[in-house]
Amino acid sequence: MRKFFLLSLITTSSLLGVAQQTQKPVLHGKNWMAITGKPLAATAGSMIFQKGGNAVDAACAMLGATCTMWDVLSWGGETQALIYNPKTGKVIGINALGVAPTGATAEYYKSKGYNFPPEYGPLAAVTPGTVGGLCLMLANYGTMSLKDVLAPSMQLAAGYAIDAQTANSMERGKQMIKQWPYSKKVFLPHLGEKREAPEGGEIFVQKELLETLTKMVEAEQLALKKGKSRKEAIMAAYDRFYKGDIAQEFVRGCQEQGGLITMQDLANWKPIEEEAMHVNYKGIEVYKLSQWTQGPMLLQSLNILENFDLKSMGYNSTRYIHTLYQTMNMTFADRDFYYGDPYFPPAEPIQGLLSKDYAKFRAKQIAMERNDPLAGPGDPYPYEGKTNPYIDVLKKRGFNMDTTSTQRRNFAPAHDVRNEAVAAIDADYMDRLWRGTTSVEAADAEGWVVSITPSGGWLPACIAGNTGVGMSQRGQSFVLDPSLNPFNVIEPGKRPRVTLTPTLALKDGKPFLSFAVQGGDTQDQNLLQFFLNIVEFGMNVQEACEAANINTNQLWLSLGGSKVDDRKPRPGSLLLHDNTPEWVRKELRQMGYTLTFDDRTSGPINAIYFDWKHKTFWGGSSNHGEDYGIGW
């Protein structure tokens, strides 16, 4: 009853513009804000701020700490970041996603009986990206040395009191962990006992990881002694990881366990600084990373929703939920077919996908009276003056991109998903849908803002040799069948299309919001609603973090599942919060939805709101999970 009461207060108070009680308080600060997935990691960010570092320094320290604490990621994973540079007024994208290694072809995986690359183990690995991303951000936009920024991570690696959530994850995954000798050595210190993983509160030591971080710092300090600049010295540490003795041990350990990564793969990979994509929603510029993430899906959704009066519908009313669901189904369908690595051919039609005219056409396709189980990819090519080369592929799959919603209801596709029973939303499916990571948000009084959604190398992780570094599992987000997505077929040197998606928003040319969330395919669903909660319904940042969301399952899963059916969309499947009124439930069922309920409808959202009237920060962090913030 208390939970329902509080959430009702949040909803009512937000619509009336009156602040009310939330389960966690808003964070306030005037000098800096540090928010991330673990309390100790937020503390690492505060330590760097207190030593005079800027938001980039602090964000890098939090990133390193979360990796060291296995906050559903590892040092061998990938990093996706947006940085606002107050000196230029520009938003910078950081692409530190690894690539498929030598020999990783669709034919190779098919020959081993896979429908998708595997979920776990060395054959799921792309090259590690987080180390390179951290070094690039720190070198180009930070102020401190790698030695200073990695100090909290090194202290944690030397031994910290492990949280029960992580320790229990190690214990649950121990049968898989035992397949990999280097993982077993790190994660199961009590091998042969009833409980083989650490207990909550036990001092967890990672000797090999500490040695790896020490080697990087040694390379930096040696370069400084030789007269190199701060930036050059940081990149000397980068080189030792990707080209030196650390790389050699990583590759040896990877290949010993059946992986494909080579020394050349590591040496050839580079993090990329790129231009962020953005759209204007009612005077607010919303920035996301490009189509190698799912980020443009949120931008496409805002373009479509701009054609509706959302505020008049009412927060989480039947009409509002239906409009959101239909919009997200369309933009996810575009994501699932058209998104991929922009540095590899064929070129994605991203200009058309983000066109306001394309959004208006898609808005007209929405059937307002019922769920459309046939929602599929549109045709963005005419909106950039081109002809779609994949029309025949889409028609063969049963899609007709040119129809209006009325015409669509009369269209009989080759494979009519309306005749399929909606698959049960079981625990395995929800794990693949929600599969978490962490997020990092940081801001300072000088104006630097950082939003990061790192991931990869989560438990149960396969550690590469005696490095202490868990390998990424992001290869599973590739497809092997080009008819599913011709832009995201695995090949050596290519990045998979990931779910990871930090966000920045500017208003009047100044930072307005910095926000990110964990949770696989639900990330941009929840970030979209968080943004609308603030912009359309007047919630403050903490209310918006805690507010009830909806989730659509009418999309192709990006993670897990060895069979095609495991990843297929579940048409009409809708997750609602437990507090959804009965009349809304009844109306949605009449509109063709199959409903499930939970008291958790969002991964933990972390966010910073910029109060320019008072020149202060408002920090928000969800009321479940371990996410934590500190402000000053």
Q: pLDDT for 424-477, tens place per residue?
A: 456 666 665 556 689 999 999 999 999 999 999 999 999 999 999 999 999 999
At 338-363, the pLDDT tens digits run: 999 999 999 999 999 999 999 999 99
C-alpha–C-alpha distance, residues 81 and 211, integer Å: 27
Q: Which of 479, 478, 437 is nearest to 461 (CA)?
A: 437
Contacts 24+ apart (CB under 8 A), 529-533: 529/324, 529/602, 530/602, 530/605, 530/607, 531/286, 531/298, 531/302, 531/503, 531/505, 532/305, 532/310, 533/14, 533/315
User: What local confidence, expressed as pLDDT, does residue 16 receive?
Assistant: 37
Low-confidence ranges of the chain (pLDDT < 70): 1-20, 401-436
Q: Which of 310, 377, 291 is nearest to 529 (CA)?
A: 310
**H-state helical runs in 226-355:** 230-243, 245-256, 263-268, 295-305, 310-313, 318-338, 350-353
Domain residue extents for the chain: 275-400
C-alpha–C-alpha distance, residues 257 and 91, integer Å: 40
User: What local confidence, expressed as pLDDT, does residue 228 receive?
Assistant: 98
User: What local confidence, expressed as pLDDT, does residue 514 receive?
Assistant: 98
User: What local confidence, expressed as pLDDT, does residue 21 receive?
Assistant: 81
Q: In this structure, what token pair is assigned to residue 319?
A: 């009409």
**Distances from the Cα of 490 to the Cα of 17, 74, 275, 619, angstroms:** 49, 23, 24, 39
Q: Residue type for 282, please?
A: K
User: What local confidence, expressed as pLDDT, does residue 417 receive?
Assistant: 35
Residues contacting residue 587 through CB under 8 Å, at least 6 positions apart: 318
Exposed / middle / buried, residue 532 (Cβ in 10 Å: 0-12, 13-18, 19+): buried
Please state the pTM of the whole predicted model: 0.94
User: What local confidence, expressed as pLDDT, does residue 426 receive?
Assistant: 67
C-alpha–C-alpha distance, residues 449 and 276, integer Å: 14
C-alpha–C-alpha distance, residues 156 and 149, integer Å: 13
Question: Could you count the other beta carbons within 10 Å of the beta carbon of residue 164?
Answer: 13
C-alpha–C-alpha distance, residues 117 and 103, integer Å: 13
Q: In this structure, what token pair is assigned to residue 480?
A: 């092997």
User: What local confidence, expressed as pLDDT, does residue 602 receive?
Assistant: 86
User: What local confidence, expressed as pLDDT, does residue 624 receive?
Assistant: 85
C-alpha–C-alpha distance, residues 632 and 630, integer Å: 7
CATH fold of 275-400, please? Answer: Serum Albumin; Chain A, Domain 1 (1.10.246)
